[in-house]
Each structure stands twice: as structure tokens, then as C-alpha cells.
């Protein structure tokens, strides 16, 4: 039923032509019909979750092996990051779909990348003969610009996808944007707080195992 109060002869003719243009003069014959149930989607989601957990476990092991005790502290900060991100998604009533899981894994990589930059800077300072506490302080300060550049550029891309994207793209962008914002906090504040708590009170710290 089409109704309104602004029908004119030209408008009716145009509307009639538009409706008739979409009509097919031939009958439709169904050649093949497939029904896809929720089992396939559940299986993909299950495999994605397993892959995410396995990837996270490998990252935790890598950080602990490469950077020893500071790497373990980075693992603790990364675990806090995961909890914070899941809490934000819960508050936002966001559904963790397959694109969302992809954004989640990518943000984990960004969080680990920040810790790698910090610890490599600390190693450089230690090789120069700087005291351990001064090396820690210089490592965080010198890595800040590189971390900010990489994360801010990705954050801008995530916000653009969030605003202009639709469907799965927007789901990916939401998780990625929240993840990067959270990882920035845990990498710069959480890791530094843990390292300061462990090494800050040691006045005679002569060696840093990293």
C-alpha cells in the first residue's frame, strides 16, 4: 500500500515506472538451496577462542624467557590488561564476535610491543654502564615517544573505522580501539608501577637481570 497527500500525475508516473522496472518478465526457478545453521558459527568462534588463548600463552612464555623477571612483571600487566578490556566490553554490552576477537588479539600484540620497546631501551642503558635504577627510568622515558607514535596512529585508524564502519568492521574497530587505549595504560603505568615496586626501594641495586 502506497499512500500520501502529495501525489501528482508526474510523481505517480515516475513511481509506476520505478516499480515496473524491478519486475522480471520471467519466472524464477530455484536451482540450489542451502541452509546454514548456528553450528558452523559456533565452531569458528570456539576455534578462534582457542587460538587467542594459545597465542596469549605463547606471548607470556616469550616475555618471561626473553626478559626474565621484568618479563614476568610484563606478563602480570598483560593479564591485568586482559581483565580490564573484558570489563570494558562487559560494561559497553559488546558482543565478542569473530572480528572482535581479531581486534582483541591485535591489541594484545600492541601491548606486548610496548613492553618490548621499553625493555630493549633498558637493555641499551645497562650496556652503557648506567645504574639499574637509572636504566629503568631512562628506558621508560626514551621508549615513550615510539610507543605513543605507534599506538596513536593505530588508535586513529580504529576510531575512523568505528565511526564510519558498519557490521563486522565496526565490531573489530570497537574492540581494537578499547584495547589500544587500555594497553597504553597498562604498558606505561602498570608495568612501570610493578617494576618500581620491585626495584625502586633497593638502594644498593647493582645488577638488573633483563
3-state secondary structure of 25: coil
| Average pLDDT of the residues in 39-64 | 81
More confident residue, 119 or 29: 119
In a domain, 32, yes or no: no
In a domain, 39, yes or no: no
**Tens of pLDDT along 95-146?**
777 788 888 888 888 888 888 888 888 888 888 888 777 888 888 888 888 8
Identify the domain containing residue 172 by its residue range.
Answer: 66-201+206-210
User: So what's the pLDDT on residue 52?
Assistant: 80
Would you give the distance in Å from CA 175 to the centre of its chain?
5
- pLDDT of 36 > 70? The answer is no
In a domain, 25, yes or no: no
Q: Cite the DSSP H helix spans in 34-131.
A: 38-91, 98-127
User: So what's the pLDDT on residue 41?
Assistant: 66
| Average pLDDT of the residues in 172-184 | 85
User: So what's the pLDDT on residue 204?
Assistant: 65
The C-alpha angle 78, 41, 107, rounded to 5 degrees, equals: 20
How many domains does the chain divide into?
1
Instruction: Give the C-alpha separation, 86 to 104, whole Å.
Output: 10
- pLDDT of 37 > 70? The answer is no
* Cβ partners under 8 Å of residue 38, min gap 6: none
3-state secondary structure of 141: helix
Give 87's pLDDT tier (boundaries 50, 70, 90): confident
**Axis crossing angle, helix 132-164 with helix 191-199, rounded to the nearest 10:** 170
In a domain, 114, yes or no: yes
- pLDDT of 28 > 80? The answer is no
User: So what's the pLDDT on residue 200?
Assistant: 66
Instruction: Give the C-alpha separation, 4 to 12, whole Å.
Output: 11
In a domain, 126, yes or no: yes
CATH no. for residue 76? 1.20.1640.10
In a domain, 57, yes or no: no
- pLDDT of 7 > 80? The answer is no
The mean pLDDT value of the chain amounts to 80
- pLDDT of 1 > 70? The answer is no
In a domain, 19, yes or no: no
In a domain, 14, yes or no: no
3-state secondary structure of 127: helix
Please tell me what DSSP assigns to residue 190.
I
Amino acid at each position: 500500500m502506497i499512500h500520501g497527500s502529495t501525489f501528482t500525475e508526474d510523481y505517480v508516473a515516475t513511481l509506476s515506472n520505478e516499480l515496473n522496472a524491478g519486475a522480471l518478465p520471467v519466472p524464477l526457478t530455484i536451482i540450489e538451496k542451502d541452509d546454514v545453521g548456528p553450528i558452523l558459527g559456533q565452531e569458528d568462534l570456539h576455534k578462534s577462542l582457542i587460538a587467542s588463548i594459545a597465542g596469549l600463552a605463547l606471548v607470556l612464555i616469550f616475555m618471561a624467557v626473553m626478559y626474565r623477571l621484568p618479563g614476568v612483571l610484563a606478563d602480570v600487566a598483560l593479564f591485568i590488561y586482559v581483565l580490564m578490556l573484558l570489563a570494558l566490553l562487559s560494561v559497553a554490552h559488546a558482543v565478542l564476535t569473530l572480528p572482535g576477537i581479531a581486534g582483541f588479539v591485535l591489541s594484545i600484540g600492541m601491548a606486548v610491543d610496548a613492553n618490548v620497546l621499553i625493555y630493549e631501551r633498558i637493555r641499551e642503558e645497562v650496556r652503557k654502564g648506567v645504574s639499574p635504577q637509572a636504566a629503568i627510568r631512562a628506558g621508560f622515558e626514551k621508549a615513550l615517544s615510539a610507543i605513543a607514535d605507534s599506538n596513536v596512529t593505530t588508535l586513529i585508524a580504529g576510531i575512523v573505522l568505528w565511526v564510519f564502519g558498519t557490521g563486522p568492521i565496526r565490531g573489530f574497530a570497537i574492540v581494537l580501539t578499547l584495547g589500544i587505549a587500555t594497553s597504553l595504560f597498562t604498558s606505561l603505568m602498570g608495568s612501570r608501577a610493578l617494576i618500581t615496586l620491585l626495584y625502586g626501594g633497593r638502594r644498593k641495586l647493582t645488577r638488573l637481570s633483563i
